[in-house]
């Protein structure tokens, strides 16, 4: 689900957790962040698990520029799974490892590829890092030019694009949507 669809989900009664929202919490969501900023509903150190949220409370969990700043991607994805209702979805909006934006923020600890979150999906069994599984709904690299060289090479073969062309024609963002299997 893209940001533009979020208001429809909220108006349909979906509960949405905005993880690491800061002062940019999306309207209608419940925001959790380490710092008490305007709009933050739950102040909690996100590197301390479990988060102070009961199991199966949310239809959606958003990570917008926050997952890459947390100490453990594995534990954070497990927490997202725990707080999601059955078939709930997690959305991850982040930079791509080849983007210069991925290396500017001094808080960013992790750099993700197009394939990083495949490790959390059903059927991916080597190696297994967690028992909590997701189903990949959508993943996408975003480029500034809709029909630029990077976009074309990525559409031809994401694996070949990342291996040979990502640094020359970097995407500026990437998006993942996964559904919790419970």
> Which is higher by pLDDT, 126 or 109?
109
Mean of all residue pLDDT scores within the chain: 93
Q: What percent of the chain has a predicted confidence (pLDDT) above 70?
A: 98
pLDDT band (50, 70, 90) for residue 127? confident
- Residue 1 is predicted with a pLDDT of 47
d(C-alpha 21, C-alpha 13), whole Å: 20
The answer to whether 73 touches 110, Cβ cutoff 8 Å, is yes
Write the pLDDT tens digit of every residue in 47-99: 999 999 999 999 999 999 999 999 999 999 999 999 999 999 999 999 999 99
Q: Let me know how many helices (H) and strands (E) the chain has, helices first.
A: 4, 7
Write the pLDDT tens digit of every residue in 128-140: 788 899 999 999 9
The answer to whether 141 touches 96, Cβ cutoff 8 Å, is yes
Nearest to 175 by CA among 23, 27, 63, 75: 63
Q: According to the CATH classification, is domain 3-181 in 3.10.450.50?
A: no
Q: Is the pLDDT of residue 24 over 90?
A: yes
Q: How many residues does the chain have?
A: 182
Q: 64-79 burial by CB neighbour count: b if 16+ within 10 A, else e?
A: bbbbbbbeebebbbbb
The torsion of the CA quartet 22, 26, 30, 31, rounded to 10 degrees, works out to -10
Q: Is the pLDDT of residue 142 over 70?
A: yes
> Which is higher by pLDDT, 36 or 1?
36
What is the mean predicted confidence (pLDDT) over 15-24?
96
- Residue 9 is predicted with a pLDDT of 80
Peptide bond before residue 45 is cis, with ω within 30 degrees of 0:
no
Nearest to 118 by CA among 108, 109, 128, 110: 128
């Amino acid at each position: 689900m893209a940001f533009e669809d979020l208001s429809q989900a909220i108006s349909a009664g979906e509960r949405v957790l905005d993880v690491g929202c800061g002062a940019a919490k999306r309207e209608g969501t419940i925001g959790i962040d380490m710092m008490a900023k305007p709009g933050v509903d739950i102040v909690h150190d996100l590197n301390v698990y479990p988060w102070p949220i009961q199991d199966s409370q949310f239809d959606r969990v958003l990570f917008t520029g926050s997952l890459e700043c947390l100490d453990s991607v594995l534990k954070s994805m497990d927490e997202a799974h725990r707080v999601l209702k059955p078939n709930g979805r997690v959305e991850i909006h982040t930079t791509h490892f080849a983007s210069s934006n991925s290396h500017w923020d001094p808080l960013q600890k992790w750099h993700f590829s197009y394939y990083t979150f495949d490790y959390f999906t059903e059927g991916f069994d080597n190696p297994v890092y967690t028992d909590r599984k997701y189903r990949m709904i959508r993943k996408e690299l975003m480029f500034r030019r809709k029909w630029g060289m990077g976009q074309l090479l990525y559409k031809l073969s994401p694996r070949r694009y990342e291996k040979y062309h990502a640094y020359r024609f970097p995407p500026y963002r990437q998006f993942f949507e996964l559904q919790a299997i419970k």
